[in-house]
Amino acid sequence: MDLYQLTAHRLHEMLVKKEVSAAEITKAVFQRIEQVEDKVNSYITLTQETAEAQAAEVDKRLAAGEAIEPLAGIPVALKDNLCTEGIRTTCASKMLGDFVPPYTATAVQRLYDANLVLVGKTNLDEFAMGSSTENSKFHLTHNPWDAERVPGGSSGGSAAAVAAGQAIVSLGTDTGGSIRQPASYCGVVGMKPTYGGVSRYGAVPFASSLDQIGPITKDVTDMAHMLNVICGHDPLDSTSANLQHPDFTKYLVNDIKGLKIGVPKEYLAEGIDSQVKNRIKEAIEKMTELGAYVEETSMPHTDYAMPAYYLLATAEASSNLARYDGVSFGFRVADAEDIVDMFKRSRSQGFGDEVKLRIMLGTYSLSAGYYDAYYLKALKVRTLIKQDFDQALEKYDLLLGPTSPSTAFKIGELINDPIKMYLQDICTIPVNLAGLPAISLPCGLVNNLPVGLQLIGKAFDEGTLLQAAFTFEQNTEHHRLRPEL
C-alpha cells in the first residue's frame, strides 16, 4: 500500500521502527498531490518547502535516537480560515486574497508543537459559508469519489484532501456541520468537539457562538490522537473551557456492551433519502448486535433548528464581517471617490454573493424593528433545542442518526436553490446550537457514494463517542473503502 493511503498511527509505527522517514512520507504525499490535484482541487496554497523542513527536523530527532510524538512527521492540511503566521490565509475570498497573518491559530500552533508537517491550506466556501465548497472565490473542489459531485462544505477541501490521500489528517471548522457533512460525503471521519473544547483563537470567525475547530482523519484512532493535540484550555480564547482533557486514546476500546443509544425519530423522518436510511438502520442493527441498547426517542423542536440557526448565524456573521471595510486590512478599491464610496465598493467587490446574502439577512434580523421578532425568538428556540438534547442525554449515553440527508449531490445541482442547499445540514445544525460534540464516520455506500453515521454525545464526553465509533469501525469494513482516482 502506498504511504499516502496509510493512517497516521500506522505511519508512526513505521517511523519508530525506521522502516520509513518523515521525508519519504512527505514526498509521497506531495507526489500524490501532483498526481490528483488537477482532478480534486483540494488546496488553495501548498507549503512544500515548509513541509520538507519540518520533516527533516523529525528525521534528525529520530536519527539522534529521540522519542517522537504520536503525530510527529505526519502531513496535515489546514482549512484556509485558520491563521498561519507568514502563510497566506484567504478564507477563499477576494476580501482576504492577499492576507498574510502576523500570528498563528492556537490549534495550529499545537500541531506545530507536536511536530506535524504542514502540507498546505485547503479550499472552502467563502468565509466558511456554504455546504458544497462551491462558494470559493478560487475554484471548485471535486469529490474524490465522483468528480462531478461536491465534496460537501464548508470544509470540503480538508475532507477531500484526506480522502484523496493528499494529506494524512486535516483540520476544518464546523459552524453548522462543516466538518461532519464533508466527512460524510468523502467517506472519512470528522469530529466537532464540544464548544469550548478547542481554542478558536486564530480561526477567522463566521458565527462565534457556533464555530468550532475539529479534525478530519481516515479512522477513529487518528481522531483520538488529533484530539489529544488540539484540545485544551487557551487563555487567548475567552470561550475556551478551563478543563483537563483525558488521553483520548484510552477510549479506543472495542466494547459497547450496555451502552444506551437514542435514535431521534426526527432524524429519520421525511426528507432523508431512503437508501441513506437503510445504511443507518444497518448501523443500528450492528450496534445492537455488539451489545448496545438502542431505541427510538424524540427531539420535538428539531424542525425549528434550521430557521433558528440561519437567524443566529447570519446575525453573528453580520457583526463579525463588519471589520472588512477596506481600512485596516483586506481588499480595498483603488479609485474610491471618498470614504463612503470606499466602504461600499470594497465590500461589494470583496465579498461573494452568498456572504453578502448572509450579511443582509443578519443585519435585517438585528435591526431595531425586528430584533425581538427574529433574533431574540431564535435565541429562545436555541434554548428549547438544547433542552431537547439535555433531556435525551439524561436517558441515553449518546444519540445516533445520519450525518446528512443524502449522499453528495452534483456540482451546480443546488447552487440556485439556497433552501435545499441549507437543508443538507439539517442533521448537523442542532448539535452546534446545543454546543455538543459529534462525530461522523463511514457506514456504507449508496451507488458507490459514502454515507455518514453521526453519533452525538454529552458535553465534554468525546471519550464515549470515540469508544462507540471505534467499536463500530473495528467490526465493519466501511473505513477501509477508498475512492479510486
Catalytic residues, by residue number, are 79, 154, 178
Q: Is 274 helix (H, G, I), strand (E, B) or coil?
A: helix
Euclidean distance between CA atoms 126 and 135, whole angstroms: 6
What secondary structure does DSSP assign to 21-44, as a single string?
-HHHHHHHHHHHHHHHHHHH--EE
Cell of 373: 421578532
C-alpha cell of 353? Answer: 454573493
Question: DSSP letter at 323?
Answer: G
Distance of alpha carbon 117 from alpha carbon 421, whole angstroms: 34
Residue 183 C-alpha from the chain's centroid: 7
Report helix, strand or coil for 299.
Answer: coil
Give the orientation angle of helix 8-16 with respect to helix 22-40, to 10 degrees.
Answer: 150
Helices 22-40 and 48-63, axial angle in degrees (round to 10): 160
Q: Kindly report the backbone phi and psi dihedral angles of residue 46, in degrees, each rounded to the nearest multiple of 5, phi listed first.
A: -105, 145
* Whether 373 contacts 238, CB under 8 Å: no
Residue 85: C-alpha distances to residues 99, 312, 332 (Å): 10, 31, 22
Q: Which residues contact 462 (CB under 8 A, 6 or more apart)?
A: 191, 193, 194, 197, 227, 231, 248, 251, 437
With H, G, I as helix, E, B as strand and everything else as coil, classify residue 330: coil
End-to-end CA distance of the chain: 15
β-sheet with 398-402: strand ranges across:
43-46, 117-122, 75-79, 169-173, 213-217, 189-192, 438-446, 449-457, 398-402, 260-264, 293-297
Residue type, 322: A
Q: Could you write out the DSSP letters of every residue in 174-234?
A: -SSSTTHHHHHHHTSEEEEPPTTSB--TTBPPSSTTT--EEEEESSHHHHHHHHHHHBS--
Rg of the chain in Å (alpha carbons): 21
Q: Which three cell numbers stand for residue 367?
A: 435591526
CA distance 307 to 375: 11
